[in-house]
Amino acid sequence: MGIAERDFPCYEPAPMDRPQNIAKPEGKLAVLLPGLGAVSTTFIAGCLLARQGLANPVGALTQSGTIRLGKRTDNRSPKVRDFVPLAELRDLEFGAWDLFPDNAYEAAVSAEVLESRHLDPIRAELEQIRPMSAVFYPEYVKRLNGTHLKRAGSKADMVEALRDDIRGFVKAKGCSRAVAVWCGSTETYVEPGAVHQSVAAFEKGLLNSDPGITNSMMYAWACLKENVPYANGAPNLSVDTPAALELARDTGTAVSGKDFKTGQTLMKTILAPGLKARMLGLSGWFSTNILGNRDGEVLEDPESFKSKEVSKLGALEHILQPSVYPDLYGKTYHKVRINYYPPRGDAKEGWDNIDIFGWLGYPMQIKVDFLCRDSILAAPLVLDLALFMDLASRCNFRGMQEWLSFYFKSPMTAENLYPEHDLFIQLMKLKNTLRWIMGEELITHLGNEYYD
């Protein structure tokens, strides 16, 4: 029996009907993180500091964002968190799995993202967060070699062990509900196959330990079975398969993905819509990065990089619509490179060379040099996703949550839809969804009511 079946009232509207009766965020929310590395520890540390008033959770829409309601003359712009019923930071309980046994303090120290002035005040709390042992078949992440692993007969047994972990954590911490955000490594590229086509095929594949079933798919399956909403921060297929979506529908569980939108892709989906809005042409966009964290090391493996590359390349194509604008974007050359360079650690540097053309075809260039910090950009996304996925669950939304595309490099969409990559359209979609959930008028920006 899943957590929800035990602890939640069960509403029965059709998927994405406007919720009439949103359950209040009462009790504690378990935030379950497969992978206790740079992003997870930065996220957890930030939440612990913020709830003690020791730091600001900058970058999280749920904490700082506002939402305009009604007309511009109404002057109604509450904070997002005062408008929709979200879990409070003080009610979050953090759980994780990793193939290394380091507690969250040790993992944060080795990730080298946060300085001791941020880690010292919360050291004791971080040390209490010890990862549960991982489901880890090394063929899907070639560069890691951990010791803190589950031993079980088949992949089906692994899923059961993860389900036990989920139930055990929720019970031990006295939580009323849980959400999961995948913060584990990027896996090797996997094409969807027969085993991913239905719940029945997948369940059989689990029993046979089918090689098409990766580590992240087992975590996702366990979460869906336990009715725990699952957000996918990596480009791994995970919940983006017909089987997982069928199970999500059957169990009434929300899913979202894939791959946190940070760094270079964030910049791309900010800049490209602007160039397109002005109908400026694009002959080429060359992106290269150096980074030296464990994520960068994993991405050295060509098979893991392939997953990332597929996820990163899609954005421009969908924003620019070369088939609609062949003269402007029909011949765009787009290249993405990631280079592992240990001296930089988590402080990534991303260069973009953008060759554009304007009036009469005259060429121009834009150079972007983004000295960013990967996990500092990703941590607020984990928080927003955890809180919004929990909201989705209390609204009884099931299956793919396209309104959370704002957070992802490679947004999941219904089969016959192209993904929306434009950051500003994504934000409008997210905020309109919140207005819709709360029965407020949607904002179209038409604005003719202000003029005679």
- Give the binding site for ligand NAD (CB under 6 A): 34-39, 97-100, 111, 134-136, 141, 144, 146, 183-186, 215, 233-234, 259-260, 262-263, 293-295, 298, 374-375, 377-378
Q: Give residue for tokens 């834009």.
A: 366
Calculate the dihedral angle through the C-alpha atoms of 237, 37, 64, 428, rounding to the nearest 10 degrees. -10
215 or 401, CB closer to ligand NAD? 215
Q: How far apart are CA 139 and CA 204, in angstroms?
A: 20
Q: Which is nearer to ligand NAD, 267 or 438 (CB)?
A: 267
Of the two residues 48 and 291, which places its CB atom closer to ligand NAD in the complex? 291
- Minimum CB separation from ligand NAD for residue 276, in Å? 24
Q: Is the peptide bond before 268 cis (omega within 30 degrees of 0)?
A: no
**Shortest Cβ distance from residue 429 to ligand NAD (Å)?**
20
Closer residue to ligand NAD (CB): 83 or 140: 140
Q: Which residues contact 27 (CB under 8 A, 6 or more apart)?
A: 91, 174, 175, 176, 177
Question: C-alpha dihedral over 33, 35, 41, 43, to 10 degrees?
Answer: -40
Sign of the alpha-carbon dihedral angle for 72, 77, 80, 82: negative
Residue 87 or residue 377: which is nearer to ligand NAD going by CB? 377
Shortest distance, position 261 Cβ to ligand NAD, whole Å: 7
Minimum distance from residue 266 beta carbon to ligand NAD (Å)? 9
For residue 350, the minimal CB distance to ligand NAD (Å) is 11
Complex with ligand NAD: residue 136 or 202, whichever CB lies closer: 136
DSSP string of 253-289, one letter each residue? -EEE-SSB--HHHHHHHHHHHHHHHTT-EEEEEEEEE
155-172 helix and 215-225 helix, angle to the nearest 10 degrees: 50
Rounded Cα gap, residues 294 and 345, in angstroms: 8
The closest of 442, 142, 409 to 301, measured between CA atoms, is: 142
Determine the Cα angle at 218 with ends 221 and 145, to 5°: 160
In the complex, minimum distance from the CB of residue 310 to ligand NAD, in angstroms, rounded to a whole number = 13
Which CB, 100 or 370, lies closer to ligand NAD? 100
What are the Cα distances from residue 164, in Å, to 170, 193, 199, 436? 10, 28, 20, 36
Q: Which is nearer to ligand NAD, 25 or 34 (CB)?
A: 34
Q: How far is the CB of 369 from ligand NAD (least distance, A)?
A: 17
Q: How far is the CB of 432 from ligand NAD (least distance, A)?
A: 25
Q: Is 299:308 a contact under the CB 8 Å cutoff?
A: yes
CA 322 to chain CA centroid, Å, is 27
